[in-house]
Amino acid sequence: MRAALMERGRIWVDDPPEPIPGRGQVLVKSAACGICGSDLHAAAHTEEFVATSLEAGGAFKLTSLDPVVLGHEFCAEVVDFGPDTARRFRAGDLVCSVPMLRASPAIPIGYSTQTPGGFAQYMLLSEDLLIAVPTGTPAPIAALTEPMAVGLHAVRKARLRGSEAALVLGCGPVGLAVITALKAAGIGPVVAADYSAGRRAFAAGQGADISVDPRHENAFSHPDLKKPEDVVIFECVGVPGMLDNIFVNAPRNARIVVVGVCLQMDHARPLIAVNKELNIQYVLGYTIDEFSESLTSIADGRFDVDKLVTAQVGLEGVADAFTTLRQPDEHAKIIVSPWQAG
Amino acid sequence: MRAALMERGRIWVDDPPEPIPGRGQVLVKSAACGICGSDLHAAAHTEEFVATSLEAGGAFKLTSLDPVVLGHEFCAEVVDFGPDTARRFRAGDLVCSVPMLRASPAIPIGYSTQTPGGFAQYMLLSEDLLIAVPTGTPAPIAALTEPMAVGLHAVRKARLRGSEAALVLGCGPVGLAVITALKAAGIGPVVAADYSAGRRAFAAGQGADISVDPRHENAFSHPDLKKPEDVVIFECVGVPGMLDNIFVNAPRNARIVVVGVCLQMDHARPLIAVNKELNIQYVLGYTIDEFSESLTSIADGRFDVDKLVTAQVGLEGVADAFTTLRQPDEHAKIIVSPWQAG
């Protein structure tokens, strides 16, 4: 089969063997698979990514420097069944799944040399984790289930009462997922901040009430955050220094939800956080229920994500897409379609 | 009057003028006043303390390097009334008050050159902030109202449901106040950790179910913390590196209440906190209601604090007491009685 492989940052298309479904597994065609910021990071800083993964035990999954087929934001089409499967689906059905293959220990799909990710024509999924894509939802849209689940989970963990104003720092795919989930939950106003004009436009498209350029305006003091004692701040950037900056600028009693993953040692002044009695909730991933709810919300339009797919490429376009995504202005989500030419 | 003065770490007894009560103010005798860890820090690192106070705007109060009468954990005896007072109390009545003199801006009693703190024979209090000490509660015990209010506030901010196990890191006066408030709230088991055998004994005296020496045992993995998904960790040490250490050792989904004030820049690895979805609540001080409740709880025995008063000294003993308290093993709280000889 055709697949895009990645080894220490180099990305090329090759012909690895087609995988064979084992017990409880289903052979699927990868119909569409989004490129995630973590994929970019894994490619640009493979050794650091692997080291961090081993150290943190769970947050990041890549554990080998050998060639790997990335891609964990996929929508797939059922092809065939392995032994001991209930055959709940039929060949041709579109399905999604959390990016995990049942095993002991579980295999992270898209970050393992043991099984291909979504940037290959074929992959294996665990049958009991499959979720049917509702009729009428195209594969590239269903492929947004995974990143949107991240936003849904972050909003859930924020324990919102409904009266809060929200400030979303960073409008990359994670920030956009948070904004989408916030608006679907009826939270407002949502103030979004990003240095990129393109990303601010995407934020507005997902329902952000105000979009702010931090170069010209301090998002924290925006007049629409009128009840500063009831502000929830979503940190969706994930670089060192963000937290200290939030400590300095946040209003008293603010709640901070850290969704952006800072991979380095970070520094902050606790005295400022103490003085304001800030609360920080670190979040990661999503539950299986939230993943399923994300797909349902996409299918029924509560999560309006059509505008987030800004390009579709074939396997030959993966390497260029990784380069293009380093410029954050143009694209929200590039979808890889392994069966598309080019 | 006689008073212990502090200037850049030097402590001596002198005869500053007796203060004269202004509008709404009451002249009181300082009957008993505890020495706080912050007082030790203000004396040992005055310039840093003043700089941090100015930078953080509220968490710490000392703003001048000039001689100051410290002491903000006081119980006082009413002497006389200034103009525009309701005279709700009579001369001789024992009272407590939050350490704040009403003014614009408010004056922090015990950290200001504008008004003496509790290490002087006389002080001024705002009449409307006075709380009567219930009959039968001696002044040195009532003087524990302020530090116990800090523990009560921290436990309140932890939003406990009642089913949690608690881990208290550090058994100085702050940790002991937290343990006391936890046990009064019916929380258990409470595991207390401190390197000092003396402090572990105080923790047990305040009701800690288990006391652990971190040199010999990892408090986080104590078998009594059997439901690790429901552990609340109270950080009562306040030195750099504590938070990162908690990140490494805390169970998933743990809630961390930061009560110890780390005055320096701190560093921690957010990826570990992300991976465990930790929650951090920074807390500071107490509300006026919590202060009042602290006194009531001390008076009715819910907070059993008698064992925490390990020494009483007169003004001439303040300098030595500051030195003695640098050895954490022997003492919980040393009370200064400005009218006592020696």
Interval A100-120: pLDDT, tens: 999 999 999 999 999 999 999
Chain B CA closest to residue A60: B275
Residue B228 CB: number of other CB atoms within 10 A? 14
Instruction: Give the end-to-end CA distance of chain A in Å, rounded to a whole number.
Output: 15
- Kindly state the tokens that stand for A34: 């989004």
Task: List residues of B whose CB lies inside 8 A of any A CB.
Answer: 52, 55-60, 157, 243, 258, 261-263, 265-284
Mean pLDDT of A121-144: 98
- Mutation test of the interface with chain A: which of B49, B62, B257, B274, choosing the one with the most A Cβ atoms within 10 A? B274
For B224: left if phi > 0, alpha if psi spans -120 to 50, otherwise beta; the answer is alpha
- Do A252 and A279 meet the contact criterion of CB atoms below 8 Å apart? no
- Kindly state the tokens that stand for B286: 């107490």
CA distance linking residue B27 with residue B13, whole number of Å: 21
| Alpha-helix runs per DSSP H in A114-172 | 139-142, 145-157
Predicted confidence (pLDDT) per residue in A200-242, tens digit: 999 999 999 999 999 999 999 888 887 766 899 999 999 999 9
B267–A271 CB contact, under 8 Å: no
Q: Where are the beta strands (DSSP E) in chain A?
A: 3-7, 10-14, 25-34, 73-81, 94-96, 100-101, 107-108, 122-126, 131-132, 165-169, 190-193, 210-212, 231-235, 255-258, 266-268, 279-282, 309-313, 333-336
DSSP output for B289-330:
HHHHHHHHHHHTTSS--GGGEEEEE-GGGHHHHHHHTTSTTT
CA distances from B52 to A275, B59, B209 (A): 11, 9, 36
Residues from chain A contacting residue B262 (CB–CB below 8 Å): 270-271
A275–B243 CB contact, under 8 Å: no
CA distance linking residue A123 with residue A135, whole number of Å: 22
Which of the two residues, A63 and A117, has the higher pLDDT score?
Answer: A117
B243–A270 CB contact, under 8 Å: yes
CA distance linking residue A266 with residue A241, whole number of Å: 7
Domains of chain A by range and CATH? Answer: 3-144+305-336 (3.90.180.10), 147-282 (3.40.50.720)
Q: Which of B157, B268, B279 sits opposite A266 (nearest CB)?
A: B268
| Alpha-helix runs per DSSP H in chain A | 37-44, 46-56, 139-142, 145-157, 173-184, 197-205, 242-249, 270-276, 288-299, 318-324
DSSP letter assigned to residue A144: T
- Do B25 and B101 meet the contact criterion of CB atoms below 8 Å apart? yes
- Kindly state the tokens that stand for A13: 């298309």
Which pLDDT tens digits describe chain B residue by residue (342 residues)? Answer: 999 999 999 999 999 999 999 999 999 999 999 999 999 999 999 998 898 888 777 667 898 999 999 999 999 999 999 999 999 999 999 999 999 999 999 999 999 999 999 999 999 999 999 999 999 999 999 999 999 999 999 999 999 998 899 999 999 999 999 999 999 999 989 999 999 999 999 999 999 999 999 999 999 988 888 776 689 999 999 999 999 999 999 999 999 999 998 888 899 989 899 999 999 999 999 999 999 999 999 999 999 999 999 999 999 999 999 999 988 788 999 999 999 986
Diameter of chain B by CA atoms?
Answer: 61
- Kindly state the tokens that stand for B76: 């006082």
Cis peptide before B173 (omega within 30 of 0): no
With vertex at residue A131, the alpha carbon angle to CA A129 and CA A137, rounded to the nearest 5 degrees, is 150
**Tally: H helices and E strands in chain B:** 10, 18
pLDDT of residue B221: 87
ipTM: 0.93
pLDDT of residue A42: 94
The bridge status of strand B190-193 relative to strand B165-169 is: parallel
DSSP letter assigned to residue B287: -
- Do B332 and B175 meet the contact criterion of CB atoms below 8 Å apart? no
CA distance linking residue B122 with residue B338, whole number of Å: 9
CA distance linking residue A109 with residue A123, whole number of Å: 9
A262–B272 CB contact, under 8 Å: no
CA distance linking residue B23 with residue B85, whole number of Å: 7
Residues from chain A contacting residue B236 (CB–CB below 8 Å): none
Predicted confidence (pLDDT) per residue in A169-194, tens digit: 999 999 999 999 999 999 989 999 99
Cis peptide before B21 (omega within 30 of 0): no
In one-letter notation, the amino acid at residue B66 is D
Q: Where are the beta strands (DSSP E) in chain B?
A: 3-7, 10-14, 25-34, 73-81, 94-96, 100-101, 107-108, 122-126, 131-132, 165-169, 190-193, 210-212, 231-235, 255-258, 266-268, 279-282, 309-313, 333-336
pLDDT of residue A236: 97
Mean pLDDT of A137-146: 98
Residue B64 CB: number of other CB atoms within 10 A? 14
In three-state secondary structure terms, A3 is strand
pLDDT at position A308 over 80: yes
pLDDT of residue A342: 62
* Buried residues in B121-148 as b, exposed as e (16+ CB within 10 A): bbbbbbbebbbebeeebebbbbbbbbbb
Interface size between A and B, measured as CB pairs under 8 A? 96
**Model pTM score:** 0.93
Predicted confidence (pLDDT) per residue in B235-281, tens digit: 999 999 999 999 999 999 999 999 998 888 899 989 899 999 999 99
